[in-house]
Structure 1
Protein backbone atom coordinates (compact mmCIF):
# COMPACT_ATOMS: atom_id res chain seq x y z
CA UNK A 1 0.00 0.00 0.00
CA UNK A 2 1.28 3.48 -0.84
CA UNK A 3 2.13 6.06 1.75
CA UNK A 4 0.63 9.55 1.81
CA UNK A 5 2.06 12.91 2.79
CA UNK A 6 0.04 16.11 2.79
CA UNK A 7 1.32 19.66 3.13
CA UNK A 8 0.33 23.20 2.30
CA UNK A 9 2.10 26.44 1.42
CA UNK A 10 1.42 30.14 1.16
CA UNK A 11 1.43 32.34 -1.93
CA UNK A 12 5.14 32.73 -2.82
CA UNK A 13 4.53 36.24 -4.19
CA UNK A 14 3.92 37.46 -0.63
CA UNK A 15 7.35 36.29 0.45
CA UNK A 16 9.10 37.60 -2.67
CA UNK A 17 7.53 41.04 -2.22
CA UNK A 18 8.55 41.14 1.46
CA UNK A 19 12.16 40.53 0.44
CA UNK A 20 12.16 43.85 -1.43
CA UNK A 21 11.08 45.81 1.67
CA UNK A 22 13.94 44.99 4.04
CA UNK A 23 17.61 44.20 4.34
CA UNK A 24 18.53 40.54 3.89
CA UNK A 25 19.23 39.86 7.57
CA UNK A 26 15.91 41.43 8.62
CA UNK A 27 14.01 39.42 6.01
CA UNK A 28 15.59 36.16 7.18
CA UNK A 29 14.96 36.99 10.84
CA UNK A 30 11.27 37.62 10.07
CA UNK A 31 11.13 34.33 8.19
CA UNK A 32 12.87 32.50 11.04
CA UNK A 33 10.48 34.02 13.60
CA UNK A 34 7.45 32.88 11.58
CA UNK A 35 6.25 36.41 10.87
CA UNK A 36 6.66 35.65 7.16
CA UNK A 37 5.40 32.46 5.52
CA UNK A 38 7.93 29.76 4.71
CA UNK A 39 9.07 29.21 1.16
CA UNK A 40 7.08 26.54 -0.71
CA UNK A 41 10.24 24.42 -1.16
CA UNK A 42 10.77 24.30 2.59
CA UNK A 43 7.27 22.91 3.03
CA UNK A 44 7.70 20.45 0.16
CA UNK A 45 10.92 18.96 1.53
CA UNK A 46 10.09 19.81 5.18
CA UNK A 47 13.20 21.73 6.28
CA UNK A 48 13.49 24.79 8.50
CA UNK A 49 15.66 27.86 8.96
CA UNK A 50 17.04 27.46 12.48
CA UNK A 51 19.69 30.16 12.79
CA UNK A 52 20.66 33.32 10.97
CA UNK A 53 23.28 35.96 11.64
CA UNK A 54 25.27 38.17 9.27
CA UNK A 55 27.20 35.90 6.93
CA UNK A 56 25.75 32.65 8.32
CA UNK A 57 22.55 30.62 7.91
CA UNK A 58 21.63 27.18 9.26
CA UNK A 59 18.85 24.91 8.01
CA UNK A 60 17.77 21.54 9.41
CA UNK A 61 15.93 18.49 8.14
CA UNK A 62 14.98 15.17 9.64
CA UNK A 63 15.34 12.76 6.70
CA UNK A 64 12.53 10.34 6.00
CA UNK A 65 11.71 7.83 3.32
CA UNK A 66 9.79 10.54 1.42
CA UNK A 67 13.25 11.95 0.59
CA UNK A 68 14.56 8.65 -0.82
CA UNK A 69 15.85 7.91 -4.29
CA UNK A 70 15.21 4.52 -5.95
CA UNK A 71 18.21 2.89 -4.19
CA UNK A 72 17.00 3.54 -0.64
CA UNK A 73 18.81 6.65 0.54
CA UNK A 74 18.17 10.39 0.54
CA UNK A 75 18.22 11.80 -2.99
CA UNK A 76 21.17 14.02 -3.87
CA UNK A 77 18.75 16.76 -4.84
CA UNK A 78 17.67 17.02 -1.21
CA UNK A 79 21.32 17.42 -0.13
CA UNK A 80 21.75 20.08 -2.84
CA UNK A 81 18.59 21.94 -1.85
CA UNK A 82 19.68 22.18 1.78
CA UNK A 83 23.22 23.24 0.86
CA UNK A 84 22.01 25.77 -1.73
CA UNK A 85 19.57 27.25 0.80
CA UNK A 86 22.24 27.57 3.49
CA UNK A 87 24.87 29.08 1.20
CA UNK A 88 22.40 31.43 -0.53
CA UNK A 89 20.82 32.65 2.69
CA UNK A 90 24.25 33.22 4.21
CA UNK A 91 24.85 35.61 1.30
CA UNK A 92 21.37 37.11 1.63
CA UNK A 93 22.04 37.84 5.29
CA UNK A 94 24.76 40.30 4.25
CA UNK A 95 22.72 42.25 1.69
CA UNK A 96 21.43 45.77 2.28
CA UNK A 97 17.94 46.92 1.36
CA UNK A 98 17.69 47.24 -2.42
CA UNK A 99 20.13 44.42 -3.22
CA UNK A 100 19.22 40.87 -4.20
CA UNK A 101 21.18 37.80 -5.25
CA UNK A 102 20.90 34.78 -7.49
CA UNK A 103 23.03 31.66 -7.47
CA UNK A 104 25.37 31.36 -10.44
CA UNK A 105 26.54 27.86 -9.59
CA UNK A 106 26.52 25.19 -6.93
CA UNK A 107 29.19 22.53 -6.61
CA UNK A 108 28.29 19.68 -4.28
CA UNK A 109 30.50 16.91 -2.95
CA UNK A 110 28.54 13.97 -1.53
CA UNK A 111 30.61 12.32 1.20
CA UNK A 112 28.25 9.99 3.08
CA UNK A 113 24.93 8.27 2.55
CA UNK A 114 21.91 9.65 4.42
CA UNK A 115 18.89 7.56 5.43
CA UNK A 116 16.05 7.96 7.92
CA UNK A 117 18.37 6.26 10.44
CA UNK A 118 20.88 9.13 10.12
CA UNK A 119 18.65 11.36 12.22
CA UNK A 120 18.48 15.16 11.96
CA UNK A 121 20.95 16.90 9.66
CA UNK A 122 22.01 20.54 9.51
CA UNK A 123 23.21 22.61 6.56
CA UNK A 124 25.51 25.38 7.79
CA UNK A 125 26.21 28.11 5.26
CA UNK A 126 28.86 30.83 5.55
CA UNK A 127 30.07 33.63 3.31
CA UNK A 128 33.66 33.17 2.21
CA UNK A 129 34.04 36.40 0.21
CA UNK A 130 31.78 39.23 -0.92
CA UNK A 131 32.36 42.09 -3.34
CA UNK A 132 30.00 44.62 -4.91
CA UNK A 133 28.78 42.25 -7.65
CA UNK A 134 29.52 38.71 -6.45
CA UNK A 135 29.71 36.58 -3.35
CA UNK A 136 31.23 33.19 -2.64
CA UNK A 137 29.68 30.99 0.02
CA UNK A 138 30.17 27.49 1.30
CA UNK A 139 27.91 25.09 3.15
CA UNK A 140 28.46 21.92 5.12
CA UNK A 141 25.84 19.24 5.71
CA UNK A 142 26.45 17.52 9.05
CA UNK A 143 24.70 14.97 11.25
CA UNK A 144 23.94 15.38 14.97
CA UNK A 145 27.49 14.32 15.90
CA UNK A 146 29.05 16.87 13.55
CA UNK A 147 30.11 14.25 11.00
CA UNK A 148 30.45 15.84 7.54
CA UNK A 149 27.95 14.34 5.07
CA UNK A 150 28.36 16.74 2.13
CA UNK A 151 30.01 20.03 1.22
CA UNK A 152 29.12 22.72 -1.33
CA UNK A 153 30.38 25.99 -2.70
CA UNK A 154 28.21 28.56 -4.42
CA UNK A 155 28.93 31.69 -6.43
CA UNK A 156 26.22 34.32 -6.30
CA UNK A 157 25.60 37.41 -8.41
CA UNK A 158 24.47 40.52 -6.53
CA UNK A 159 22.24 43.10 -8.21
CA UNK A 160 20.06 46.10 -7.36
CA UNK A 161 16.27 45.72 -7.06
CA UNK A 162 13.56 48.35 -6.68
CA UNK A 163 12.54 48.87 -3.07
CA UNK A 164 8.86 48.13 -2.42
CA UNK A 165 6.96 50.56 -0.25
CA UNK A 166 4.32 49.46 2.24
Structure 2
Protein backbone atom coordinates (compact mmCIF):
# COMPACT_ATOMS: atom_id res chain seq x y z
CA UNK A 1 0.00 0.00 0.00
CA UNK A 2 1.23 3.50 -0.82
CA UNK A 3 2.31 5.92 1.84
CA UNK A 4 1.16 9.52 2.12
CA UNK A 5 2.35 12.61 3.91
CA UNK A 6 0.41 15.84 4.34
CA UNK A 7 2.39 19.08 4.47
CA UNK A 8 1.09 22.35 5.94
CA UNK A 9 2.89 25.68 6.04
CA UNK A 10 2.24 29.31 6.78
CA UNK A 11 2.25 32.23 4.34
CA UNK A 12 5.84 32.57 3.16
CA UNK A 13 5.24 36.19 2.13
CA UNK A 14 4.59 37.31 5.70
CA UNK A 15 7.92 35.92 6.87
CA UNK A 16 9.77 37.37 3.87
CA UNK A 17 8.27 40.82 4.53
CA UNK A 18 9.28 40.64 8.19
CA UNK A 19 12.88 39.87 7.19
CA UNK A 20 13.28 43.39 5.84
CA UNK A 21 12.09 45.04 9.04
CA UNK A 22 14.66 43.83 11.56
CA UNK A 23 18.26 42.81 12.02
CA UNK A 24 19.09 39.20 11.11
CA UNK A 25 19.54 37.91 14.64
CA UNK A 26 16.24 39.44 15.79
CA UNK A 27 14.45 37.98 12.75
CA UNK A 28 15.79 34.48 13.37
CA UNK A 29 15.02 34.68 17.10
CA UNK A 30 11.40 35.46 16.18
CA UNK A 31 11.33 32.22 14.17
CA UNK A 32 12.84 30.18 17.01
CA UNK A 33 10.24 31.65 19.39
CA UNK A 34 7.44 30.73 16.99
CA UNK A 35 6.30 34.33 16.46
CA UNK A 36 7.30 34.06 12.79
CA UNK A 37 6.69 30.91 10.78
CA UNK A 38 9.57 29.05 9.25
CA UNK A 39 9.96 28.80 5.50
CA UNK A 40 7.88 26.27 3.52
CA UNK A 41 10.99 24.19 2.71
CA UNK A 42 11.36 23.46 6.44
CA UNK A 43 7.79 22.13 6.58
CA UNK A 44 8.31 20.11 3.39
CA UNK A 45 11.46 18.38 4.63
CA UNK A 46 10.57 18.36 8.33
CA UNK A 47 13.38 20.40 9.86
CA UNK A 48 13.39 23.51 12.01
CA UNK A 49 15.57 26.24 13.43
CA UNK A 50 16.26 25.27 17.04
CA UNK A 51 18.92 27.74 18.25
CA UNK A 52 20.44 30.96 17.00
CA UNK A 53 23.05 33.37 18.28
CA UNK A 54 25.37 35.85 16.61
CA UNK A 55 27.29 33.90 13.96
CA UNK A 56 25.73 30.50 14.78
CA UNK A 57 22.54 28.66 13.79
CA UNK A 58 21.37 25.15 14.70
CA UNK A 59 18.67 23.20 12.86
CA UNK A 60 17.19 19.86 13.92
CA UNK A 61 15.97 17.14 11.58
CA UNK A 62 14.40 13.72 12.11
CA UNK A 63 15.07 11.54 9.04
CA UNK A 64 12.17 9.55 7.66
CA UNK A 65 11.55 7.18 4.81
CA UNK A 66 10.19 10.09 2.75
CA UNK A 67 13.74 11.50 2.64
CA UNK A 68 15.25 8.35 1.11
CA UNK A 69 16.97 7.98 -2.22
CA UNK A 70 16.55 4.75 -4.25
CA UNK A 71 19.28 2.94 -2.29
CA UNK A 72 17.65 3.34 1.13
CA UNK A 73 19.35 6.30 2.77
CA UNK A 74 18.67 10.03 3.03
CA UNK A 75 19.13 11.78 -0.31
CA UNK A 76 22.19 14.04 -0.65
CA UNK A 77 19.92 16.95 -1.57
CA UNK A 78 18.44 16.82 1.93
CA UNK A 79 21.95 16.92 3.42
CA UNK A 80 22.76 19.91 1.19
CA UNK A 81 19.55 21.73 2.12
CA UNK A 82 20.25 21.34 5.84
CA UNK A 83 23.88 22.43 5.46
CA UNK A 84 22.94 25.41 3.26
CA UNK A 85 20.25 26.48 5.74
CA UNK A 86 22.59 26.27 8.74
CA UNK A 87 25.46 28.11 7.03
CA UNK A 88 23.16 30.75 5.52
CA UNK A 89 21.29 31.44 8.75
CA UNK A 90 24.59 31.70 10.63
CA UNK A 91 25.51 34.48 8.20
CA UNK A 92 22.01 36.00 8.42
CA UNK A 93 22.37 36.20 12.21
CA UNK A 94 25.24 38.69 11.79
CA UNK A 95 23.47 41.09 9.43
CA UNK A 96 22.20 44.52 10.44
CA UNK A 97 18.83 45.89 9.40
CA UNK A 98 18.86 46.72 5.72
CA UNK A 99 21.35 44.02 4.69
CA UNK A 100 20.48 40.75 2.96
CA UNK A 101 22.47 37.76 1.70
CA UNK A 102 22.38 35.02 -0.88
CA UNK A 103 24.49 31.90 -1.18
CA UNK A 104 27.13 32.05 -3.91
CA UNK A 105 28.34 28.49 -3.49
CA UNK A 106 28.04 25.43 -1.33
CA UNK A 107 30.79 22.81 -1.20
CA UNK A 108 29.61 19.62 0.50
CA UNK A 109 31.25 16.45 1.76
CA UNK A 110 29.10 13.44 2.63
CA UNK A 111 30.89 11.37 5.27
CA UNK A 112 28.33 8.91 6.66
CA UNK A 113 24.92 7.67 5.55
CA UNK A 114 21.81 8.93 7.32
CA UNK A 115 18.83 6.60 7.74
CA UNK A 116 15.80 6.51 10.00
CA UNK A 117 17.88 4.54 12.51
CA UNK A 118 20.34 7.47 12.75
CA UNK A 119 17.75 9.38 14.76
CA UNK A 120 17.69 13.13 15.23
CA UNK A 121 20.35 15.07 13.34
CA UNK A 122 21.65 18.56 14.07
CA UNK A 123 22.93 20.94 11.41
CA UNK A 124 25.24 23.49 13.04
CA UNK A 125 26.34 26.50 11.03
CA UNK A 126 29.00 29.02 12.05
CA UNK A 127 30.46 32.10 10.43
CA UNK A 128 34.18 31.84 9.74
CA UNK A 129 34.69 35.31 8.28
CA UNK A 130 32.45 38.24 7.39
CA UNK A 131 33.38 41.29 5.40
CA UNK A 132 31.38 44.09 3.81
CA UNK A 133 30.49 42.16 0.65
CA UNK A 134 30.94 38.48 1.41
CA UNK A 135 30.84 36.05 4.30
CA UNK A 136 32.29 32.57 4.65
CA UNK A 137 30.46 30.01 6.77
CA UNK A 138 30.73 26.32 7.49
CA UNK A 139 28.15 23.79 8.62
CA UNK A 140 28.25 20.25 9.92
CA UNK A 141 25.59 17.56 10.29
CA UNK A 142 25.91 15.60 13.54
CA UNK A 143 24.14 12.59 15.00
CA UNK A 144 23.19 12.16 18.68
CA UNK A 145 26.73 10.92 19.47
CA UNK A 146 28.24 14.05 17.84
CA UNK A 147 29.66 12.07 14.92
CA UNK A 148 30.16 14.24 11.85
CA UNK A 149 27.89 12.98 9.06
CA UNK A 150 28.53 15.71 6.48
CA UNK A 151 30.31 19.05 6.20
CA UNK A 152 29.96 22.09 3.96
CA UNK A 153 31.43 25.50 3.38
CA UNK A 154 29.47 28.34 1.84
CA UNK A 155 30.31 31.77 0.52
CA UNK A 156 27.50 34.30 0.80
CA UNK A 157 27.17 37.62 -0.98
CA UNK A 158 25.96 40.50 1.21
CA UNK A 159 23.96 43.36 -0.27
CA UNK A 160 21.65 46.21 0.76
CA UNK A 161 17.93 45.43 0.87
CA UNK A 162 16.13 47.34 -1.91
CA UNK A 163 14.02 50.18 -0.57
CA UNK A 164 14.35 52.06 2.69
CA UNK A 165 15.05 49.09 4.99
CA UNK A 166 11.52 49.10 6.37
CA UNK A 167 10.54 46.04 4.40
CA UNK A 168 8.70 48.03 1.76
CA UNK A 169 10.11 48.81 -1.64
CA UNK A 170 9.58 51.99 -3.61
CA UNK A 171 9.31 52.32 -7.35
Fold shared, TM-score > 0.5 on shorter chain: yes
1:49 paired residue number: 49
Structure 1 residues 70 and 54 mapped into 2: Cα distance closer, same or farther (>3 Å)? Answer: same
Structure 1 residues 108 and 14 mapped into 2: Cα distance closer, same or farther (>3 Å)? Answer: same
CA distance in 2, matches of 1:144, 1:111: 15
Describe the superposition over 1:106-163 as per-residue Cα deviations: whole angstroms up to 9, x where unpaired. Answer: 0000000000000000000000000000000000000000000000000000000131
Q: CA deviation at 1:37?
A: 1.1
With structure 2 as the length reference, what TM-score do the two structures score? Answer: 0.95
Q: CA deviation at 1:165?
A: 5.7
User: Which residues of structure 2 form unaligned runs of 5+?
Assistant: none
Q: Give the secondary-structure state (helix, strand or coil) at the position aligned to 1:25.
A: helix
Contact kept? 1:17, 1:164, Cα under 8 Å: no
Describe the superposition over 1:1-55 as per-residue Cα deviations: whole angstroms up to 9, x where unpaired. Answer: 1101001111211111100000000000001100001100000000011100000
Aligned length: 166
CA distance in 2, matches of 1:38, 1:108: 24
Structure 1 residues 123 and 165 mapped into 2: Cα distance closer, same or farther (>3 Å)? Answer: closer
1:94 paired residue number: 94
Q: CA deviation at 1:87?
A: 0.1
2:166 paired residue number: 164
- Runs of 4 or more consecutive aligned structure 1 residues displaced over 3 Å after TM superposition: none
1:104 paired residue number: 104
1:1-150 to 2 correspondences below 5 Å: 1-150=1-150
User: Which residues of structure 1 form unaligned runs of 5+?
Assistant: none
Q: CA deviation at 1:164?
A: 2.1
CA distance in 2, matches of 1:2, 1:11: 29
Structure 1 residues 137 and 40 mapped into 2: Cα distance closer, same or farther (>3 Å)? Answer: same
